[in-house]
Amino acid sequence: MISQTSEYALRAVIHLAHYSGSARTTQQIADATRVPSGYLSKVLQALARAGLVRSQRGLGGGFTLARNEAEVTMLDVIRAVDQPLERINACPLGLVTHTELCPLHRKLDEAVEWVEASFGSTMIADLLGKGEVEPLCDASTEKDVTLRVTRNKSE
């Protein structure tokens, strides 16, 4: 449905929202979100270019959200790193006689429209799972990763 890059960007932003205020290093975010750190680094750069995250250099530095998680939608994050949800406004075949979309492209566009509306009305704050049993990428995740990595190594 969405690209790997978009999924990783969403995980990173949700992680930063969990830690709102405290800067997180690429490695900390990578561990919690289970994204390879080289890949994550590129994702974070794209998010920074889009003004969604901010990086601070030096000791105690790292990434923080640049905007309030209640004002950033899933779609903002996806669009910052990818172009997968473009509406189909004109015939992709470039057929000059197709002044309206054909039934195929109308159907495909209808799906994009639905997904766009769904992701565009879901705030990052809605995804934090506050008060729910299983939030994504919370502190317990990191502990879990550590345990699992240790276990794998000793196996």
* Residue 11 within binding range of its own copies, rule CB under 8 A: yes
Q: Tell me how far apart the alpha carbons of residues 52 and 45 are, in angstroms, rounded to a whole number.
A: 10
Quick one: tokens of 154? 């000793």
For the bound state, the minimum distance from the C-beta of residue 108 to its own copies, rounded and expressed in Å, comes to 6
Q: Is 36 in the site for its own copies (CB under 8 A)?
A: no
Distance (Å, rounded) from C-alpha 118 to C-alpha 71?
A: 15
End-to-end CA distance of the chain: 35
Q: What is the rounded distance in angstroms from the CA atom of residue 150 to the CA atom of residue 135?
A: 23
Task: Quote the least distance from Cβ 73 to its own copies, whole Å.
Answer: 11
CB under 8 A: which stretch of 18-26, 46-54, 55-63, 124-132 binds its own copies?
124-132
Stretch that binds its own copies, among 22-30, 45-53, 60-68, 85-93 (CB under 8 A): 85-93
* Selected range binding its own copies among 18-26, 46-54, 62-70, 115-123, rule: CB under 8 A: 115-123
Q: Give 148's contacts (C-beta < 8 A, 6+ positions apart).
A: none
Residues 74, 59 contacting (CB under 8 angstroms): no
CB of 49 to its own copies, least distance (A): 22
In Å, what is the CA distance from 57 to each residue of 11, 17, 31, 61, 66?
A: 22, 19, 20, 5, 15
> Closest CB to its own copies among 39 and 114?
114
Indicate whether 99 belongs to the interface with its own copies (CB under 8 A). Answer: yes
For its own copies, the binding residues (CB under 8 A) are 1-2, 7, 10-11, 14, 33-34, 74, 84-85, 92-105, 107-108, 110-112, 114-115, 118-119, 122, 126-129, 132-137, 140-141, 144, 148
